[in-house]
Chains A and B, each alone.
Chain A
């Protein structure tokens, strides 16, 4: 009787011991801290201050093809900006309310609106049917030697973004080449830029809209007076 009671007690103790050690294996008492978690909050630098880049209009040079705007000398455009500290930090570009200024010239987008050239899908080849649109442009350049042109290439949305940006540039360059060669216009009077698919003329997602977005627009640049 006494003996069996003792055995029962011993068995219970054993079970208790097993239970407690089992718990200990699940949750070790001295977990190691992780360094990464600590360092990650020390990085409170946060977003940087924004630099307002003063617009620059370096003189245009004639390069092998297109007029070259040399990069600004390293270190010139840095933070703080070279503007007086009291200057307002609102942007001059992209939010101006007056006439659009490009490279120190007044931009006229309306005058050659009818000369917007359209392209086939994924092509930068100037179609013969479109060439006639460029004659008034060439004539206007010859009549006013002080004026310049900017040709802006665009794409439809069917293409990846950077591929399209290069495609838009190829379209603008095709027109520039034609105007320079066919119209005997000085190369430094015609610049190009590409907007890729970022400035669609039509917002739809069908062929009708896409056909209107695969285009190059011609902008007349007049000296500011």
Chain B
């Protein structure tokens, strides 16, 4: 119905304004132009105010848009926000890609909802504006707590109050569980933690260190590093620690497991051949296979993209850390940004990683992989590291 009215209006304009100079013919917005490319989408934003304006701008910039003047923009986004948010998205030829109103939540949530719809209209992929992350916050006395926050750092809240060293949070099924390492019982032990009830289980509290839990997609298993066998080796068990199975028999030691999205394969880091390298092994065991990372000499902290295509990891070159990606089967490495320990967003496009500041403390940043643009996460919690994205 809107379309008919628009066509009618367009017909009227062309018939009534023949004496005016003909407007330049603007191409219709084509989602394929900006799909998986390194080009930021030039957009303009107008009409929004306050928290909605800043939230919307942050969301869209992280998702690969560049905010420019209306004259330069390929996509015009305008609207109003009051009791409800009304948002409109059109291309230069005034073809409307989206027009929606949003109610029933606070201004920030309305803005996130609109941002996700804009990104879906422009790229045909699901937005990440309403996703959550977990990360480690370390106090000056070296103890830490696990925090959960919106992906933009808003609403950060501690989910532990242990005043003990903690490490390596990993999301479990339905984003209702986290697994992490805590030294609360005076040893490096692995816990699973139900975010709804606060219920916690010990997943692994064996002699030696129990490290680096990674919950499998679907949440049935946890991959982790245990040293009870004499070397740090890769094991799997369920969220309560039952059915423990040893997968590697390292000469030197392994670390940092992550899962393929189908749950069939685990990628991890091994030091058996000198410098740290990426390997893969079936979730039921088998022979480990090296994942080649052509162009770098060491690789740690892998994370497998939810679409299965890429593995991101950290390499150390000189004194610097770099966030890199490599095809999941191995191959040429692309270095993306200075930083370390990145986690994939559910869109398999955005990464969150940490950067070390001058004083040695870590802070969190977001990275749009195709455009390599980085945006810092505004947090005032001090030393934040080891982000993990709920997906």
Chain B residues with CB under 8 Å of A24's CB are 5, 9
Interface of A is mostly: loop
A49 in the interface, Cβ–Cβ < 8 Å? yes
Report B-chain residues with C-beta under 8 Å of the C-beta of A192: 207-209, 227
Asked if B186 and A103 make an inter-chain contact with CB atoms under 8 angstroms apart, the answer reads: yes
Given contacts A65-B230, A68-B206, contact A34 B100 (CB under 8 A): yes
Q: Does B50 contact A (CB under 8 A)?
A: no
Interface residues contributed by chain A, number (CB under 8 Å): 82
Residues of B within 8 A of A55 (CB): 185-186
Per-residue CB contact flags for chain A residues 184-204 toward chain B (1 = under 8 Å, else 0) read 000000011111101100010
User: What's the Cα separation between A172 and B208 when bound, in Å?
Assistant: 9
- Known pairs A18-B12, A165-B209; A170 contacts B253 (CB<8 A): yes
Q: Tell me, yes or no, whether A99 is within 8 Å of chain B by CB.
A: no
Is A97 on the interface with B (CB-CB < 8 A)?
Answer: no
B103 touches which one: A33, A68, A74 (CB < 8 A)? Answer: A33
Interface string of A16-45 (1 = CB under 8 A from B): 011001101111100111101110110001
**Bound complex: CA A17 to CA B9 (Å):** 9
Residues of A within 8 A of B167 (CB): 161-162, 165, 196, 198
User: Is B227 in contact with A71, judged by CB distance below 8 angstroms?
Assistant: no
Establish whether residues A195 and B165, one from each chain, have CB atoms under 8 Å apart when the complex forms: yes
What's the Cα separation between A79 and B165 when bound, in Å?
21
- Asked if A36 and B230 sit within 8 Å, CB to CB, the answer is no
- With the chains together, A199 CA to B164 CA distance in Å? 12
B240 at the binding interface (Cβ < 8 Å)? yes
Contact between chains at B201 and A40 (CB < 8 Å): no
Docked-complex contact A37 and B105, CB < 8 angstroms: yes
Contact A63 to B101, CB < 8 A, known contacts A48-B196, A158-B319: no
B240 to chain A, nearest CB (A): 4
Question: Can you offer 6 A-B residue contacts whose CB atoms are under 8 A?
Answer: A17-B12, A33-B101, A69-B207, A103-B186, A162-B168, A167-B271
Not counting A160-B256, A162-B211, A170-B232, a sample of 17 additional A-B residue pairs whose C-beta atoms are within 8 angstroms of each other reads A18-B9, A18-B17, A36-B113, A36-B130, A37-B105, A37-B109, A37-B113, A38-B105, A64-B228, A65-B228, A65-B229, A71-B203, A93-B185, A162-B212, A166-B212, A166-B254, A199-B142
Binding site for A on B (CB under 8 A): 2, 5-6, 8-9, 12-13, 16-17, 86, 88, 94, 96, 99-106, 109-110, 112-114, 116-117, 130, 138, 142-144, 148, 157-165, 167-168, 181, 183-188, 191, 194-209, 211-212, 225, 227-232, 240-242, 244, 252-256, 269, 271, 275-276, 300-301, 314, 316, 319, 321, 340-341, 356, 360, 385-386
